[in-house]
Amino acid sequence: MNTTKRPSPETVAAIDLGSNSFHMIVARLEKSGTLSVIDRLRENVRLGGGLDADGAIDNSTQNRAFECLETFAQRIRDLPHSCVRVAGTNTLRVAINAQSFVNRAEVILNHPIEIIAGREEARLIYLGVAHGLATKEGNRLVVDIGGGSTEFIIGKGMQPVRRESLYTGCVSASKRFFNNGDITEDIMNAAELDAALTLFPQSANFQSSQWDEAIGCAGTIKAIADIVHEQGWCLNGISYKSLQLLRKAVIDAGHIDDINLAGLSQNRKPVLAGGLSVLLAVFKTLKIKQMRVSDQGMREGLLYDLVGRITYHDVRDATVESAMSRWGIDIEQAKRVTNTVEQLCQMTCEQWSIDMEQMRPLLKWAAMLHEIGLQVSHNNYHKHGAYLLTNADMQGFSRQEQALLAALVLSHRSKFRINAFKELMKPFAKVGKHMCVLLRIAVLLHRGRTGQFIPDIKVTVKNTEINLQFPEDWLDDHSMTLADLIKEINHLDTAGYKLSFK
């Protein structure tokens, strides 16, 4: 892959489409590689609160979200795609109408939206927090209570060591236990117990014996820290004693509307009780006595991860290398296929309007991982590989990117499975099929699994027509390749492509 360093952009941006709030951060990328924040925007959209009984985001909540994105779009719409990352979290992971929401939101923003898995969200959270705090010896626990999920990360220095994401948050807890506004001792006990039960299966991995300091981030924890500070209950972060005092004050108020505490904003009031119940369960279950609070979190992590991609320190490269090692992939064969598929891509990308910057790395990674399923079984290994890539915890990859990798691996041999590409996000659907054709040809040319010389092949494409031109008499001397190409004509024909060669 060509890694000639391109000029760094002056402006980068990240948008976090959270279950409670939408956040946008815009920064200037200095020549030194550091970031200088030049703009921040935040709106309490409460996307998670708009989930109806069927698991769909209701229309009024969607409209509120789109209005917010219209405001964000004024700032980032004209920035190159390579300079912006937009990530959706828990609500967009679980909503049954998430794709239709994303489709409209992408039109508004003029940028693609990634739906990230819970553990990937945890990684980005830690990345943001770690960049904002001085490095200390020992392990740190980072906790982020979002609207629909809570992330736990143990890390050392800049590296997360253990990550987990659980389905409980300030919006979901408030909706379930405090939806009518009432706050009683019994209701608070029930909410805390529910959060503790959610945390319990993972609690042994995050106990206080595993870390040296606890750090909280994001809206719920920062709001609670503001309250206990303004009340004089804890002047540095959050202590367990200060949480108990806040718990009593909230229960004494009796109703959400009657909570009047210095440091509490009107926007945070509707989800305070739910967020507090989750944080109390976290403190009790993990035996936390004191928690520092970080101003940085996932949106900053998105920015730092974006800068890594711009400067060719992409965590996805390390993820793929780790997967190749873990699953015992034949490195030499993977390199042969990867080199050939990149050459084919170079010759066809302009004719097929393939976005080289976005799509070429994904095609490269698919080529490197196309045999990942062989360690499961030699029979139908492409199906096993697709399953692994769909469900694996792949740091740095969005769910949509993993779905594309899985579709490419599933169809790199034998039958071309059109439906797998129809289910991809719009930018990947059509281009993904083109990429798969190139991967299939590269795999076919290296079926012999040897280092034999592959000649320079001229490739021309026009819509769904592909023509391969080999050196004179080469195919006559390589009858197995010729036979495979003849079979491939039929496979590609079922996918709507016409392959010819000479």
Average pLDDT over residues 394-405: 91
Q: Alpha-carbon dihedral of residues 155, 161, 167, 168, nearest 10 degrees?
A: -20
pLDDT tens digits, residue range 337-395?
999 999 999 899 888 888 777 888 999 999 999 999 998 988 899 999 999 999 988 98
11-116+301-306 shares its CATH topology with 134-295: yes
Who's near 381: CB < 8 A, 6+ residues apart?
Answer: 371, 373, 374
Q: What is the pTM of this model?
A: 0.85
What is the reported pLDDT for 7?
54
Q: What is the pLDDT of residue 2?
A: 43
Q: What is the pLDDT of residues 108-136, one digit of tens each?
A: 999 999 999 999 999 999 999 998 776 66
Report d(CA 154, CA 163) in Å as an integer.
7
Strand intervals (E) in 346-496: 458-462, 465-469
Helices (H), 90-184: 90-94, 98-109, 118-132, 170-177
Whole-number Å distance between alpha carbons of 250 and 122: 29
Say which residues have a Cβ less than 8 Å from residue 340's Cβ, sequence separation at least 6: 441, 442, 445, 446, 454
CATH 3.40.50.150 fits 11-116+301-306, yes or no: no
Q: What is the pLDDT of residues 169-207, one digit of tens each?
A: 999 999 999 999 999 999 999 999 999 999 999 999 998
Query: Confidence band (pLDDT; 50, 70, 90) for 215?
Result: very high
Query: How much is the pLDDT for 447?
Result: 87
Tell me the pLDDT band of 33, cut-offs 50, 70 and 90. low
Sign of the dihedral defined by the CA atoms of residues 62, 64, 68, 73, in that order: positive
% of the chain exceeding 70 in pLDDT = 97
Name the architecture of domain 314-501: Orthogonal Bundle (1.10)
Q: What is the mean pLDDT of the chain?
A: 90
**In the chain, helix, strand, coil percent, each to 5?**
55, 15, 30
Overall fold of domain 134-295: Nucleotidyltransferase; domain 5 (3.30.420)
d(CA 300, CA 306): 10
Q: What is the pLDDT of residue 498?
A: 95
Give kind and range of the element (H or E) at residue 78. none
Average pLDDT over residues 152-160: 91
Reading the block at residue 19, the tokens are: 């279950």
- Amino acid in position 362: L
pLDDT value of residue 448? 84
d(CA 74, CA 223): 28
Q: What is the pLDDT of residues 414-470, one digit of tens each?
A: 899 989 998 888 778 888 999 999 999 999 999 888 877 788 899 999 999 999 999
Structure confidence at residue 12 (pLDDT):
92
List of residues 6+ apart from 303 with CB closer than 8 A: 12, 13, 14, 25, 27, 35, 85, 128
CB 216 within 8 A of CB 143: yes
What is the pLDDT averaged over residues 16-42? Answer: 87
Residue 464 CB-density burial (10 A; 0-12 exposed, 13-18 middle, 19+ buried): middle
The residue ranges of every structural domain in the chain are 11-116+301-306, 134-295, 314-501
